[in-house]
Chain A
C-alpha cells in the first residue's frame, strides 16, 4: 500500500517512490531556459529564477505562467546572474552570482528593495519577512552562517567550523528547521553536520566514505575538483534530504534521507540529474530535468 509522505515527526519509511505530478518547461515551449532556484508558496504557486533570460517567473499550481519580471542589467529589478531563491510570507529573496546583494520582490514579482551582503551568497534561507540566513563567500577564511535583516544589518553569526579552511573547502548547502537547528552538507567534503540553535554540534556524518577530494592547482589557487554533496532540504517532519554529486552511485541523482537524529533511513534516485532539490510545505519535491529546461514536481510516496 502506498501512503503519502509523512505523518509523524521524524517518521520515515525505508522506501520512497516519486510520482510525477507536474512538469513545467520542455523543448517545445519557452517557459524555462535554465532555471536555477525554485520555491513554492502555500497556494501552490511556483517561483523560479531563470539564468538564461535573467528573470524571475511565477507559475500557478497547474504550471501556467502567471508573471515574469527582470531583464539583463544592474538596475532595480534587473539581473546579471540570478541564482538562489527563497520566500517568506510577503517576499521573494533572489541572490546574484556576481553582486553582493539579495534582491527582494513581492509575490507579484514587483521589486521592493535589496539587502547588501559582504560577498556573493553561497546559499540562503528566508526565516521571515525581515530575516534571512546566508552563507556569504568572503576572502576571510571563516566558515559561518550570517543572519541579516532587511537593511543588511548583521543580526547574528553562527560559526560552523572551528578552524580556517582552504579555498572552497568550507562551501556548504544548508537548511534550518523550525527549532533553529542548522543542517549543512559540505560541497567538497564527505560531511553532513547538524548544529542546534545555540551553535553546538549535535552530530556529523559521512555517508560515502570519501576521505579527501582531488584538488588541482589553477592559477595560484588549489581548487577542489570533485563535488560530494550538491544540496540539502528538510521535509515537514524534519527529515533531511541530501543530493549527492560525483561520488554517488547515480551522479547528481541519488538523494539520501537522514532522520533528525542523523540516521540514514532511505535513499532514492531522481529520474534526471539535478543541481538542487526543494521540498515545499506539503512535502512535494522539486528537481531538474533536461539540463534546466524542465522543472519537475513529485509526490513522495512511502512503500
Chain B
C-alpha cells in the first residue's frame, strides 16, 4: 500500500504540467515547459474561439511560472 502511494505520488508530479494547461496535451517537464505550454495554449483552436481566450492561457502561464519554475 505504501509502495503504491509512492508510485502514485511520482505519477502525480509528472502530471503537473498536464493539469496546469488542460487545453493541451503532454508538456515537456524540462526548462521552458511553461513557455511551450503557453504557445500550445495560444494556438489551440478552443481558446482561439473563446472571446479573449488568451487571458486563460496567461492565467495558466503565470500559475506555471509560480508553481513549477523559480
Contacts and interface: CB of A to CB of B under 8 A. Distances in A.
B-side interface mostly = helix
Given A29-B5, A33-B9, A137-B59, A227 B69 contact: yes
Contacts, number: 98
Contacts of A275: 66-67
Interface of A is mostly: loop
Interface in B1-45: 2, 5-6, 8-9, 12-13, 15-16, 19, 22-23, 35, 38-39, 42-43
A295 interface: no
A251 interface: yes
A154 to B, nearest CB: 17
B66 A139 contact: no
Interface residues of A, number: 44
A12 to B, nearest CB: 26
Contacts of A52: 12, 15-16, 19
A98 interface: yes
Given A97-B59, A221-B54, A293-B12, 16 more contacts: A27-B9, A28-B6, A33-B9, A34-B19, A52-B16, A119-B55, A120-B55, A137-B55, A137-B59, A139-B54, A171-B58, A227-B69, A245-B66, A273-B70, A275-B66, A291-B13
Interface of A: 27-30, 33-34, 36, 51-52, 80-81, 83, 97-98, 119-120, 122, 137-139, 167-168, 171, 187, 216, 218-221, 223, 225, 227, 230-231, 245-246, 251-252, 273, 275-276, 291-293
